[in-house]
Amino acid sequence: QNPPTFYGGRKMLSRAFRNRFVEIHVDEIPEVELSTILEKRCQIPESYAKKMVEVMKELQLRRQSSKVFAGKHGFITPRDLFRWADRFRIFGNSYEDLGRDGYYLLGERLRDEGEKSDVLEVLQRQLRIKLAEDDLYKQGPLGGDKVLNLCNYSGESQNLEKIIWTKSMWRLYFLVERCYKL
């Protein structure tokens, strides 16, 4: 079990229940070791792993100073870093891709627009890239209409023509399709 205060506001387990198990307490992983683990486990270049750890460190500092009850693990945890690195290995090959993958993972779960912009700002500063919100959900390098591909899967092309593809609809489709590929 993860520590109850760090992840999602979990409650402490009762002492009687905890006595049935052997508890192992592990301290924070040092930054150097964390970047090495990311590099080796997720098979990404060392420079990308170091940048990801820097992003995590800055997001934790921001959360620690702004939100008293969320603690420093509010924005990102080491588990998120491994997810981010795995997604980058599958979908990315540049710092822009690393930034986009980071935003999809870290920014999309937030409800507050201010926090989303904080994540975007940190990613842009640490990775030295520029991400435009309008370009985050573009439908791939070909620029083609992926609705046609969706028609091939479903065989219901006349029904799909009735859908109005708004910006939020494209965003939803992009994120769901991306999850499906994982």
Fold of 29-136: Histone Acetyltransferase; Chain A (1.20.920)
Q: What number of other Cβ atoms are within 10 A of residue 168's Cβ? A: 9
Average pLDDT over residues 67-96: 81
Between 111 and 31, whose confidence is greater? Answer: 31
Q: 155 in helix, strand or coil?
A: coil
Residue carrying structure tokens 């270049």:
45
**pLDDT bracket for residue 72 (50, 70, 90):** low
Indicate the range of 16-20, 98-102, 128-132, 153-157 predicted with least confidence.
153-157
What's the distance, CA 129 to chain centroid? 17
Task: Tell me what percent of the chain is helix, strand and coil, each rounded to the nearest 5.
Answer: 60, 0, 40
Q: Which of 87, 105, 106, 104 is nearest to 48 (CA)?
A: 87
Direct distance between the N- and C-terminal alpha carbons of the chain, in angstroms, rounded to an integer: 26
Kindly report the pTM of this predicted structure. 0.75
Could you give the CA distance from residue 62 to residue 66 in angstroms, rounded to a whole number?
Answer: 6
55 closest CA partner among 100, 91, 24:
100
- Name the residue type at position 7: Y
Domain boundaries, the chain: 29-136, 142-182
- The alpha carbons of the chain give a radius of gyration, in whole angstroms, of 19
pLDDT score of 155: 54
- Residue 168 in tokens: 């939020």
Higher pLDDT among residues 162 and 23, named by residue? 23
Instruction: Name the average pLDDT for the chain.
Output: 82
Tell me: the pLDDT tens digits for 116-127? 899 999 999 999
Higher pLDDT, 161 or 45: 45
Predicted local confidence at residue 80, as pLDDT: 93
Q: Ranked by mean pLDDT, which of 29-33, 65-69, 72-76, 176-180 comes out on top?
A: 29-33
How confident is the model over 126-149, as pLDDT tens digits? 999 999 877 788 755 434 445 545
